[in-house]
Amino acid sequence: MTEEPDISLLRPYLMTSGRAQPVDQSLEIEAQVMTSRLGAASHPKLTFERQEIVSLCRNTMSVAEVAAMLGLHIGVARVLVADLAELGYVVVRRPGTHNSHDLGMIERVIRGLEAIH
């Protein structure tokens, strides 16, 4: 059973409250996301999609990997992750120049992006 087009377009809109840009517009898709203690403790009170992200990020992963694992558009994942970070439910480690040569991280981001297609 496939979703009707109107419903599949409405779901991301509802998840992000109609926002296309994250509260932190500089959030990179390769940024590493990890659940905080507050996020783990607040898990039952979160909406379904946010619960999924908090559960997934118990193991550190990039924003791109979160999008791929949950089948979300990368823009939707950025909005949700930025919201969770602003509330303290996840910790975001931003890529620095020292990470630009981390081949393992680059390969994980590429695999995450490929999984989105």
pLDDT in tens, 16-44: 555 666 667 778 889 999 999 999 999 99
Domains of the chain, residue spans: 30-113
Question: C-alpha angle 110/92/102, rounded to 5°?
Answer: 40
- Tokens representing 78? 């950025």
Q: Which element (helix H / strand E) includes 63?
A: helix 63-70
Global pTM exceeds 0.95? no
Q: What is the pLDDT of residue 100?
A: 56
β-pairing verdict for 32-35 and 61-62: antiparallel
Task: Measure the CA–CA gap between 37 and 40, rounded to whole angstroms.
Answer: 5
Q: What is the Cα 31 distance to its own chain's centre?
A: 9
**Pair 80, 53: CB distance under 8 Å:** yes
Instruction: Determine the pLDDT at residue 49.
Output: 86
Show the low-confidence residues of the chain (pLDDT under 70): 1-23, 97-102, 105, 116-117
Q: Which DSSP category does 18 fall into?
A: T
First to last CA, the chain: 20
Q: How far apart are alpha carbons 67 and 115 in whole angstroms?
A: 9
